[in-house]
């Protein structure tokens, strides 16, 4: 059976992730309810608003179900708000905001400033010959990164792309350009495509 990668579709930039995954030849499914997790090979958690997503994860019943799957090692790629939701420590979060705590990092919400401080830059990514053009929008800043976390790209000495086991996170939006290399890297790393 063809592997299917889920895209969390409660809120935010999920359609662009589906497009990027299609570009690397992977079938996708929008995930809005616990039953949509069934049989997935991996999951992408998009950017958007982590507080809203946290609320919707709880009200949809997805939070606990998904947490179990993540702890069991379901490969996941969280971008921007998705990274906040995966982090073990969230700084400047709302008091009721929940995160899955499956990667040993501390992230500060809006750590690069407000909407007006959004920016684009070229990143050197481990294993990639050409730089990757990255779009940062009210991005979370990684302020601590545990020993077990592999840093795959940095901006001004701060990790912005990192991986620990089954969990990959990016502070920026890799789905907002035509360049699907990071989606390709994610699915290949976990053996979903060759």
Q: Which residues pair with 158 in a beta bridge?
A: 155
State the nearest-atom distance from the C-beta of 49 to ligand GLN, in Å.
5
Active site residue 36: no
Q: Which is nearer to ligand GLN, 85 or 180 (CB)?
A: 85
Q: Which is nearer to ligand GLN, 60 or 110 (CB)?
A: 110
Active site residue 133: no
DSSP three-state, residue 23: helix
Binding site for ligand GLN (CB under 6 A): 47-50, 80-81, 84, 109-110, 137-138
Parallel, antiparallel, or unpaired for β 141-145 and 103-108?
A: antiparallel
State the nearest-atom distance from the C-beta of 86 to ligand GLN, in Å.
12
State the nearest-atom distance from the C-beta of 114 to ligand GLN, in Å.
9
Q: Which is nearer to ligand GLN, 30 or 52 (CB)?
A: 52
Q: What is the end-to-end Cα distance of the chain in Å, rounded?
A: 15
State the nearest-atom distance from the C-beta of 14 to ligand GLN, in Å.
11
Q: Which residues pair with 154 in a beta bridge?
A: 159
Active site residue 190: no
Place of tokens 């992730």: 17
Q: Which is nearer to ligand GLN, 87 or 137 (CB)?
A: 137
State the nearest-atom distance from the C-beta of 44 to ligand GLN, in Å.
13
Taking alpha carbons only, the member of 163, 162, 158, 154 closest to residue 143 is: 158
User: Which one is catalytic: 17, 36, 80, 190?
Assistant: 80
Q: Which is nearer to ligand GLN, 17 or 190 (CB)?
A: 17
**86-118 core/surface letters (b: 16 or more CB in 10 A; e: else):** bbbebbebeeebbbbbbbbbbbbbebbeeeeee
CA dist 17 and 81 (Å) reads 13
Taking alpha carbons only, the member of 107, 121, 114, 158 closest to residue 137 is: 114
Q: Which residues are catalytic?
A: 80, 173, 175
């Amino acid at each position: 059976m063809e592997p299917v990668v889920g895209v969390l579709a409660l809120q935010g930039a999920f359609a662009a992730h589906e497009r990027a995954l299609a570009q690397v030849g992977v079938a996708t499914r929008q995930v809005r309810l616990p039953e949509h997790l069934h049989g997935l090979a991996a999951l992408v958690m998009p950017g958007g608003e982590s507080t809203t997503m946290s609320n919707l994860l709880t009200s949809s019943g997805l939070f606990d179900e998904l947490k179990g799957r993540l702890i069991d090692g379901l490969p996941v790629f969280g971008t921007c708000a998705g990274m906040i939701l995966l982090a073990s420590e969230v700084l400047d979060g709302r008091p009721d905001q929940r995160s899955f705590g499956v990667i040993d990092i501390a992230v500060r919400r809006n750590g690069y400033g407000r909407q007006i401080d959004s920016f684009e830059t070229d990143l050197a990514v481990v294993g990639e010959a050409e730089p990757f053009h990255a779009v940062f929008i009210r991005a979370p800043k990684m302020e601590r990164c545990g020993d077990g976390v592999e840093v795959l790209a940095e901006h001004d000495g701060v990790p912005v792309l990192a991986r620990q086991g089954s969990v990959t996170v990016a502070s920026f939006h890799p789905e907002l350009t035509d360049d699907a290399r990071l989606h390709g890297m994610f699915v290949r790393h976990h053996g979903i495509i060759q």
